[in-house]
Amino acid sequence: MMKHMRQHGEEGQVAIILAMAMIGLLGIVGLALDGGMLYWNQRRAQNGADAAAIAGTSALVTALTTDGYTCGTVSEQPILNVVRQYAAGNEVPDASSGQNVEAFYLTINSSGVRTVLTNPSTGKPWKVGDTGLIPCMDLKGMLVKASFPQDTFLAGVIGIVETNVTVEAYAIFDHRHWCSDFAVFGADRTPNRDVVKLNPSTGFVTNGGIHSNSGILIGGSSMYLEQYRPVEYATGETPKIDPKKISGGPDPNDKDTRGITAVDSYPLPDDAFYRFEDFKPGGFIWNEANSSQRFYYTRDIGVSDVEFTDPNNKKETYLRDGLYVTTGSVKLNGLDNLGPTDRPWRVTFVALGDIQISGGINNLPYIRGVFAYSLSNNTSNGAVKMSGSNNRWAGMIVAPNGLIGISGSKINDMSGMLMGLQIDISGSQISVNHRPEYCPPNPPRVLLVQ
């Protein structure tokens, strides 16, 4: 009898323990479900906010850059529609009707910090749609907030039947461009390196700024830099610049100029420049060139490949105009001994290897504003090396993976811009006159930022 009673008692205890275990297990499952859904909905809301911020800022840029734009007269409704459309397309609930998503204008304050624009009439953040018109302010982008309501599982037991996930996304647009703003641009971001060296005995940089993604050296006995043009080096670097040797240019003590300034390094986007494939046979730039003035080689290009003899005067040798593309290098030495220089030589060189040109020449770019474009990674002797006297070069010289080296004397006049991983200019009487019309197309870039 006692044996049976113990068995029944034990069975009751086991049932209680199992019931308590089931409650705990259900709680764990509930927490997992609530937490998992919370994480999942947060990602969905963030995707919606990111997409809406980029799309809304792009629509804002389009409105601000459309021909005929007049400040304070353009409707902001199309921008608001785009924000809602992209939020809804990324599963933000009821976003198309204006619920769970809102957008605010961004500006830059007096300290140079990105901030939400304040509506002066209300003292509150300026929401897109508040007034019906795009504000007549210095706009820099957009903040989008997206919300995602969520029904709960376990939290409902304690009275929390719904939670709300809210996220933010910032997008800005950047007009600054490596080509249209700068005459000289050094892209190397290696710390403690003088990426840009301007060290001629006499030099001029006009109509454009100078930028280094690391250190900068401006020396020589005399440098002329145009006033109100930027001279930039990377934050944390020590510039090697003697302002006393710089005439006409930015005064580092003058707060009203853009001056000699430490800035964040400026990484080039993947689409910063044309591709080699654009210039080779079948590429869109190759197809733009005259069929009789485009030349493709799988070897080095030498002087004999660019010269021709005047059929009416066998004693005169000319340089042939055209687009020259090679998988090798370009090696042109002694060009000052070739023919008359009374007319510009219209030429564009594109090479996977080095481009080396010496001698006095007078050129204009043949196509797309490009004079020399090398993809070589030569940072010792130069991916692009230009030397000689009495030169007049025009167009972009670009070496995104290597060094651009320019030396010589007597009116070495470069009209265009230099963009290389590293830049080294020496010699005397060397000038760089920025020509933004040679730059690639430069729409404002829209960037998602934290």
| Neighbour tally for 409: CB within 10 Å | 18
Integer Cα distance of 198 and 340 in angstroms: 31
For residue 26, the SS3 value is helix
pLDDT for the residue numbered 256: 41
Burial of residue 93 (number of CB atoms within 10 Å: 0-12, 13-18, 19+):
buried
Q: What is the three-class DSSP state of 308?
A: strand
- Would you write out the chain's pLDDT as a tens digit for each of its 450 residues? 445 544 555 555 655 665 565 555 555 555 555 556 667 778 888 888 999 999 999 899 888 877 667 777 889 999 999 999 999 988 888 888 888 899 999 987 766 677 899 998 889 999 999 899 998 888 888 999 998 886 655 545 544 555 778 889 998 876 666 777 889 999 999 999 999 999 888 888 888 889 999 999 988 777 777 666 778 898 889 888 866 666 655 555 554 444 678 887 776 655 567 889 999 999 989 999 999 999 999 999 998 899 877 666 666 667 889 999 999 999 998 776 555 456 788 999 999 999 999 877 788 899 999 999 999 999 999 999 998 887 788 899 999 999 999 988 776 788 889 999 999 998 888 888 888 888 877 666 677 775
pLDDT, position 292: 94
Main-chain phi, psi angles of 396, to 5 degrees: -80, 135
Closest to 182 measured CA to CA, from 205, 210, 203: 210
Predicted TM-score of the model (pTM): 0.63
Residue 75: which H helix or E strand, with range?
A: none
CB 100 within 8 Å of CB 146: yes
Task: Give the pLDDT of residue 257.
Answer: 41
Q: What is the pLDDT of residue 23?
A: 55
| Three-class SS state of 87 | helix
42 contact partners, CB below 8 Å, separation of at least 6: 148, 165, 167
Write the burial class of residue 131 (CB in 10 Å: 0-12 exposed, 13-18 middle, 19+ buried).
middle
- How confident is the model at residue 255, as a pLDDT? 45
Picking from 349, 212, 196, the residue whose alpha carbon sits closest to that of residue 276 is: 349
At which residue do the structure tokens 């800035």 appear?
Answer: 263
Contact 431, 417 (CB under 8 A): no
